[in-house]
Amino acid sequence: MLKSFFLGPDDEQRPQRWLLLACVLVGLGLRVFNFAIAPPSLWQDEAYWAVKAVKTAAIDAQIRPLGFMLVTQLLLRTLQVAGWVYRLLPFAGSLLSMGLAPYVALRLFKSGWVRALSVLLLALSPVALEMAVEFKHYGVEVGVYVGILAALLFYRDRPSWSRLALLLGAAWASFFFSLTIIFFYPAVFGWLLLVSFRQRQWRRVAAAAGVALLCLGTITTIYFTTWRTIKTEKAEKKWGTFYDVFYTKNGPQNKYDSRATWSTAKYFELAGTPGVGRVLWRASRISEPALDRLRNVDWAVWSALHLAGLAYLLQRRRYLELFALWTPLLLVTAFNFAGRWPAGAFRTNTFYVPFAIFLSCHALEWLSEAQGRLRRATPAAALLLLLPTLYFRPGLTEKGLWAKPGDFPAALALLPLDPPSRERTLIMDFASCRPWDYYTVYDAPTRDIGPTLRRRYKDSCQRQTRKLEAEMRRRATPKRGFWLLMTDQRKYDYLQGVAREICEKAEVQFVRGRTHMLVRCTQGK
């Protein structure tokens, strides 16, 4: 179908078709660049799970899909223990989502401009780009969701046993790579059972019901073997306090006075993830308060597009699209009410980003079906939605939204392999400690310097600023100095000042912009 779409008759829509292809190539190019050309190093969370993947059985990784961990461990044993190997599955998931996005857009939208916009929004999404090079299963989940949606539309387009087998098989297997697929199951199996029942296709009813029971049995098995041991109340309190993804009435980040207003805000926060890059907006000629007002306008626009998209699907009686694209969001909200899943624009909800994009783009589909000037305004509206991303986000390939950038091996390379005996103390913040543990023990590409550095330096890891300062003052004796390796940028300026105060000489170096800071404190001669 795609071949005939791009190479078909030369009609008035052909430029839009090639525009769609260009959007796909942009997305693929950005993902390849991030993965192969300028990959960031493993940051704190990734390094923690990288070590666990080497030392822990896959079944014991409670919040990671079993298949994701098993395949990752197989790749590590087959290839090597390296950052790019850990990220192979998320990268593959990102390629799958971009590869299938044109097909999904063709089945969901009639307007060529809306098709191109939906694909380009996914191509440029900071969440999708970050998670494509993040050792977590969230990037895989984006591919899984787009893949299952494509299989569902593929079956609807021309129902057959082979297409049904593809859909049902993919739906069951996807659970081993995406825990959140359970939020999509009601739409997939509910629609299959309803349509097959209405058409009196009893064998297909039996097939869909059988696989639904198989999925339920698989989920139940995983629950009793791993999830059951998770202390949900403790996790809810911790995540609610630090990330504001569970409602805590007196939480430090909670800005709302009731559960209803908080949940409504979190609902639209997730619904508005097509524009979530607004958090990264930067502008030298606009004040920060003015930029904040623009961010609020952008959030309001995407919230309105979300509601308009729902209204359009309901008005056109496109119930499959409505059910498929909306159900996961409703279930996330319901699970959050029960204290079982984080709400809002948070990395655990990465899977919903493409669905939020497709749902909002249906509002422009409504515009494209209008008459006269309104219809001709569709390209302009699409361009206006893209302008903030293109203008206010100069670093499209940099992490920084739901993950952290960095180049930890470059920071390690600045440490002398044979430092003077009086400068063999290495003080690190918590954001540096886990990468230090990974890169000095397990990582194959840094094996030539990692173990040596670990032997030559006595490392000290501190989480709080006051403890870091106390350790610096304790180590800075008249005849002994230390090295300070920092990754948490919020503490740079203060600890630089401390180093300059207590050290005879403090040499400061930054890595990859300001992602890491290395301070050498020299005392005496």
Q: What is the dihedral of CA 124, 125, 127, 130, to 10 degrees?
A: 0
**Which tens digits make up the pLDDT trace of 250-274?**
766 778 888 899 999 999 999 999 9
**Structure-block tokens of residue 454:** 């670990």
Q: Which residue, among 34, 36, 122, has the nearest Cα to 350 in the 3D structure?
A: 122
- Alpha-carbon gap, residue 365 to 347, rounded angstroms: 29
Q: In this predicted structure, what is the pLDDT of residue 83?
A: 95
- Alpha-carbon gap, residue 103 to 115, rounded angstroms: 10
What CATH number has the domain spanning 408-522? 3.40.190
Strand partners, 472: none
> How many CB atoms are closer than 10 A to CB 179?
22
pLDDT exceeds cutoff 60 at 8: no
Asked whether 69 and 119 are in contact (CB, 8 A), the reply is no
Query: Binning pLDDT at 50, 70 and 90, where does residue 240 land?
Result: low
Phi-psi region at 3: left, alpha or beta (left = phi > 0; alpha = psi -120 to 50): alpha
Asked whether 1 and 75 are in contact (CB, 8 A), the reply is no
Quick one: average pLDDT of 24-30?
96
- Alpha-carbon gap, residue 303 to 273, rounded angstroms: 9
- Alpha-carbon gap, residue 237 to 234, rounded angstroms: 5
Q: In this predicted structure, what is the pLDDT of residue 56?
A: 82
The residue among 486 and 12 whose pLDDT is bigger is 486
Please state, rounded to an integer, the average pLDDT across all residues of the chain. Answer: 90
Cβ-Cβ contacts under 8 Å for 454 (sequence gap 6 or more): 440, 441
pLDDT exceeds cutoff 90 at 6: no
**Which tens digits make up the pLDDT trace of 482-499?**
999 999 999 999 999 999
Element (H, E) at 381: helix 378-392
* Eight-state DSSP code of residue 414: T
Domain parsing of the chain, residue ranges = 165-229, 408-522
pLDDT exceeds cutoff 60 at 505: yes
Sign of the C-alpha dihedral, residues 245, 250, 255, 260? Answer: positive
**Which tens digits make up the pLDDT trace of 284-341?**
888 889 989 999 999 999 999 999 999 999 999 999 999 999 999 999 999 999 888 9
**Which tens digits make up the pLDDT trace of 388-422?**
877 787 677 788 888 889 999 999 999 999 999 99
**Is 159 exposed, middle or buried (CB count within 10 Å of its CB: 0-12, 13-18, 19+)?**
middle
The residue among 52 and 62 whose pLDDT is bigger is 52
Query: Binning pLDDT at 50, 70 and 90, where does residue 7 land?
Result: low
**Coil, strand or helix at 257:** coil
**Structure-block tokens of residue 81:** 């223990």
The residue among 226 and 276 whose pLDDT is bigger is 276
pLDDT exceeds cutoff 80 at 5: no
The CA radius of gyration of the chain, in Å to the nearest whole number, is 25
Asked whether 312 and 366 are in contact (CB, 8 A), the reply is yes
Percentage of the chain beyond pLDDT 70 is: 92
Degrees, nearest 5: CA angle 116-120-122:
125
Strands 482-486 and 425-429: parallel
Q: In this predicted structure, what is the pLDDT of residue 525?
A: 57
Quick one: average pLDDT of 58-64?
71
Quick one: average pLDDT of 448-476?
94
- Alpha-carbon gap, residue 161 to 203, rounded angstroms: 10
> How many CB atoms are closer than 10 A to CB 480?
17
The 3-state secondary structure of 463-517, one letter per residue: CCHHHHHHHHHHHCECCECEEEEECCHHHHHHHHHHHHHHCCEEEEEEECCCCEE
Separation of first and last alpha carbons in the chain: 74
**Which tens digits make up the pLDDT trace of 72-113?**
999 999 999 999 999 999 999 999 999 999 999 999 999 888
Q: Mean pLDDT: which of 190-194, 228-232, 362-366, 475-479 is highest?
A: 190-194
Q: In this predicted structure, what is the pLDDT of residue 98?
A: 97
Q: Which residue, among 230, 247, 228, 227, has the nearest Cα to 342 in the 3D structure?
A: 247
Cβ-Cβ contacts under 8 Å for 524 (sequence gap 6 or more): 422, 478, 479, 504
The pTM of the whole model exceeds 0.85:
yes
Which amino acid, one-letter code, is at 20? L
pLDDT-wise least confident of 31-35, 57-61, 309-313, 458-462: 57-61
Q: In this predicted structure, what is the pLDDT of residue 4?
A: 55
